[in-house]
Amino acid sequence: MYSLTRPTTTQVQQYLEQQSKQPFSCPDAGASAQMWSNSDHHLDRHYIIDHNRVLLGSGAKIFEQAKAAVARWEMFGLDWVELLWSETPIQVGSTVGIMVQQLGIWSLNPCRIIYILEENGSTEKFGLAVGTLPDHGLCGEERFVVEWCRSNDTVWYDLLAFSRPHQWLTLLGYWYVRRLQKRFGAGSLQAMEKAVSKFIDLE
């Protein structure tokens, strides 16, 4: 959805409801579940892969705080990105919209949770992956995961995405879209660091 004015709450609700009934636009939806490094994949070469990772701290308490931050969608806590709606429950099938205002245009890109990741063992993991819906400017997937590596007691936030243009407007302005993607990647890491640091400050 593109608009010269900010969409109203009713417009957003109706739009997301309509998109929630649509299939994923990416034929490889769910592929990020097997991707843990940029080389560990068998995706079509036309996808662009972005992988960002940051150390959040150490210990069980930090891991629990990081999990809670993901459950509250705090990885979208950037001042130029708005998640609609941040109170959406973390469960398979939940649909959200990512709204951005750039160059005087409001864009709302719909996506839906593909899977929830919860793993125990030597490395505990918690997270989710969202896939693009038909009206999204891109075709792809994004995975948000926090990890607790018990061997060295470190806690990490891992952000992995693969995408390619899905609309002509995105294709024409792809150089700018790539700037926004890289900006989001860096900003999401900072948002998670901030979410965990609030907990550390209270210790």
pLDDT on residue 184? 97
* 58-83 tens-digit pLDDT: 999 999 999 999 999 999 999 999 99
Backbone φ, ψ for residue 26 (5° rounding): -95, 120
pLDDT < 50: residue spans in the chain? none
Report the alpha-carbon angle 64-160-66, nearest 5. Answer: 10
| Residue 168, H or E segment | helix 168-172
Domain 2-34+52-202 is in which class? alpha beta
Rounded alpha-carbon distances, angstroms, from residue 96 to 83, 147, 174: 7, 24, 23
Q: Would you say how long the chain is, in residues?
A: 203
Token reading at 50:
């972005």
Q: Where are the domains of the chain?
A: 2-34+52-202
